[in-house]
Structure 1
Amino acid sequence: MAAGQSRHLGISSQIFPKDLPSQIVYNELETNYSDLYNYNQKCYKKLDRTNNEEVKEICKKYLRFIEKSRLWNTPNASYDVCLQVNYWIYDKLASILGSNNTENIQITFGSFQWVGENIMNTPARITYNKRCNPNIKIFNEKHWEKEKKLYEYYVDYNYLFFMAKSYDDNCEYYKKIIEIIPIYKYFEDECSPGKSNCPEFYKRYKSYNPEELLSNLKCYNQIEVEGSPKFAAATEGDSSRTEQPTRAGDPGLSQLSADLQNAKATHDMSGIGKKVSHTVLGAAPVLLTATALYKVPGFADSVEAE
């Protein structure tokens, strides 16, 4: 097996971060679909003041995701897909334009709102902005990157703790959890009475304190929190991760394997749609299946609107 890969529950996949549910939105946004050219006119017209082709490419991927992704059809989703889209746009612009070029980032980010004024070619005839409006106000120059990481942790919460409790022989998931502790503590302070730098979503997930469940996890006595010698030794070894063996006899493995084979052979959209819905609803056992389905060849296309 190639370096940098692991085998979780018998499924070959890239190690962090692509295993995580929070990456489902980003992975789809990053995909170079063959029909991106359909968005050339919208993006080139509205972003005519920039000669940066990378920015226009981000625009096309953004519009396509807003118009075609099936993730928008998930009822009562427990997390905000649009918020992740906003983080993705801002993060990409910061990478392209320079993270310290705040004024230019904000101007370009604002241009995406103008792009979204076009009407989508859908039966509902809704606007791009009605589905997901780029919102520069959510970004705090002081700590937007920390906000992004904290929200991703909230999305991944059930999955991380389920895996860390049951399938974490190399403590990969445990390390991912303890990495968020300093960020969680940072926002505990920023969201204390008298301060005004608190993300809007913080109170909703205040109970997701990563430290409270550590003692229930397999690796609790092997790796300690940041600042300890055990933590330093563990994080230094991230680049040399090894395979996680499949747990023979696990009653969930046979069903998961069958789900994958059936999805690949029949492309059963109704069944897959239900699994994706359960993914964003945060049901941990089903999260495993839904995340795995994203690794099935051809499944990336199956989460789009026809």
Structure 2
Amino acid sequence: MVTEMDTEMDTEMDITALKKFFSVSITYYCYLEYFIFYKVLCKFYFYMNIKLFFSQILIFNIQALSSNKLPSEKFYQKLNVFHLKLSQHYKVCESLNDPYKNVPKIKKLCAKLVSYLKNIYAESKEGNFDCIYCKLLSFWVYGQLLDLFPGNDKEASIVFANFQVIWNDINEDELYKSIKDKCDPYSRIVADPEWKDRKKLYDYCIDHDTFIELSKSDDKICRKYHNHIEQKKELYDKIDKLFSEDRLKCPIFYNKCTGYNPEAVLPKLKCHSKILEEEASSAKKLQSDLLNPTGNSVKTSLPATKLGDVLLGVVVTSMASGAIYRVTTNFIDTYQ
């Protein structure tokens, strides 16, 4: 017979068991919820850090590009940091001769060239691209190879010839048949002892309009580009030789560049007249210091013409004395 006391005890046991069950369940639920939250939080934190990391790289690259304001500097900098779809083009570079196709740095440079030609150049709509940036591309590629083979121009030339084969194959691709001016490599660069001077002159001509504009912003910048232009005077004496092939192939670029003679460009800079005044003042001071090194004025009661006559007399007397001395010495030597 079940008593009232037994019923109460069973009820208390059920309640206790239920409390224990719920307590354990709630505890496990809290642990599970905490674990899920922590895991999601960790993933979110990791994702945000990765995103921040790559955004910083992007910002760095953009800043690096923007800090170089001249077109030629931007072009070379873009090639240096260019990594667009490189992995897709390593296969094309397998056609390089042994052992070059197995050298990582050479293969990467090859992939950069292929990627640039297939992506950037193919999308370019700029006129005379071949006359301007394709020549710079050859300068950049060959310069990179010389850096990879310091003191070994022959090896760099062999690899450049390998690159040319791939470059020409890309030019023959269907994709480029609609482009009027294909991006041809400057094949004679390996036999051109003046390719660096040619590069400097190309850079100068491409940058001309930009540094004229930038020089207006600040006196310091103006002086910087004034000095930059001054250094190109000697190169312009050789412009017909350095740009001989461009006269017919790229007449627009050639005619513009011949008009950028430093003698004609320098007066356009607003700091030019001030620099000339400073140079004239410095030259005058130097002349004064040379004539009067002690800094003390020479006092004389003689007029300038008289002083000149006196100095001339001293010089003539000295010359005569020297001549008499030589004759006397020769006479004595002869009769001794």
Q: Return the TM-score normalized by structure 1.
A: 0.57
Amino acid at match of 1:22: S
Map 1:253-264 to 2 at 5 A. Answer: none
* Secondary structure of the corresponding residue to residue 218 of structure 2: coil
> Do structure 1's residue 103 and structure 2's residue 154 form an aligned pair?
yes
Q: Report the number of matched residues.
A: 209
Deviation of the 1:62 alpha carbon: 0.7
Matched, 1:91 2:143: yes
Aligned partner of 1:53 among 92, 97, 104? 104
Aligned to 1:245: none
- Report what 1:215 is aligned to: 267
After TM superposition, the score normalised by the length of structure 2 is: 0.52
Q: Which residue of 2 aligns with 1:33?
A: 83
**Matching of residue 175 in structure 1 with residue 220 in structure 2:** no
8 Å CA contact 1:120, 1:127 repeated in 2 = no
SS in 2 for 1:131: coil
Residue 74 (structure 2) aligns with: 24
Question: In the alignment, which residue of structure 2 is the partner of 1:156?
Answer: 207
Pair 1:197–1:16, CA change in 2 (3 A): same
Two-structure CA RMSD over aligned residues (Å): 3.7
Pair 136,101 (structure 1): closer, same or farther in 2 beyond 3 Å: farther
Q: Which structure 2 segments of 5+ residues have no match?
A: 1-61, 248-253, 283-336
Please give the alpha-carbon distance, in whole angstroms, between the structure 2 residues aligned to 1:23 and 1:154. Answer: 13
Distance 1:88 1:229 in 2: 42
Q: Does 1:185 align with 2:234?
A: yes
**Maintained 8 Å contact 1:168/1:218:** no
- 229 and 140 in structure 1: CA distance in 2 versus 1, 3 angstrom threshold: farther
Q: Distance in 1 between matches of 2:66 and 2:271?
A: 18
CA distance in 1, matches of 2:281, 2:141: 37
| Contact 2:157-2:190 at 8 Å conserved across structures | no
Which letter maps to 1:178? Answer: N
Letter in 1 for 2:227: I
- Tell me by how many angstroms 1:29 deviates: 1.8
Instruction: Indicate how the Cα distance of structure 1 residues 122 and 149 shifts in structure 2: closer, same or farther if over 3 A, else same.
Output: same
Task: Answer yes or no: is the 8 Å Cα contact 1:177–1:210 preserved in 2.
Answer: no
Q: How does 1:119-138 map to 2 (within 5 A)?
A: 119=170, 124=175, 126=177, 131-138=182-189
**Aligned-pair distance for 1:210?**
2.0
CA distance in 2, matches of 1:14, 1:221: 33
Sort the Cα spacing of 1:156 and 1:228 in 2 relative to 1 into closer, same or farther, 3 A.
farther
From 182, 198, 203, the counterpart of 1:147: 198
CA contact (8 A) 2:232 2:262 kept: no
Q: Deviations over 1:148-186 (max 9, x none)?
A: 11101100111111121x21232x244234324333423
Query: Deviation per CA, 1:232-258, whole angstroms, max 9, x where unpaired?
Result: xxxxxxxxxxxxxxxxxxxxxxxxxxx
Q: Larger relative CO (CA 8 A, sep 6+): 1 or 2?
A: 1
Out of 116, 137, 148, the position equivalent to 1:65 is 116
In structure 2, the partner of 1:42 is 92
- Taking the aligned partners of 1:36 and 1:111, their CA distance within structure 2 comes to 18
| Greater C-alpha radius of gyration | 2
Change beyond 3 A, Cα 1:191–1:21 = closer
Q: Give the Cα–Cα distance (whole angstroms) in 1 for the partners of residues 85 and 65 of structure 2.
A: 29
Provide the rounded CA distance (Å) in 1 between the counterparts of 2:208 and 2:201: 10
1:223–1:16: structure 2 CA closer, same or farther, 3 Å change rule?
farther
Give % identity: 22
CA distance in 2 between partners of 1:122 and 1:83 (Å) = 20
Q: Gaps (5+ residues) in structure 1?
A: 1-11, 231-306
How far apart in 1 are the matches of 2:281 and 2:140? Answer: 34
CA distance in 2, matches of 1:92, 1:228: 43
- Distance in 2, matches of 1:117 and 1:201, equals 20
CA contact (8 A) 1:67 1:120 kept: no
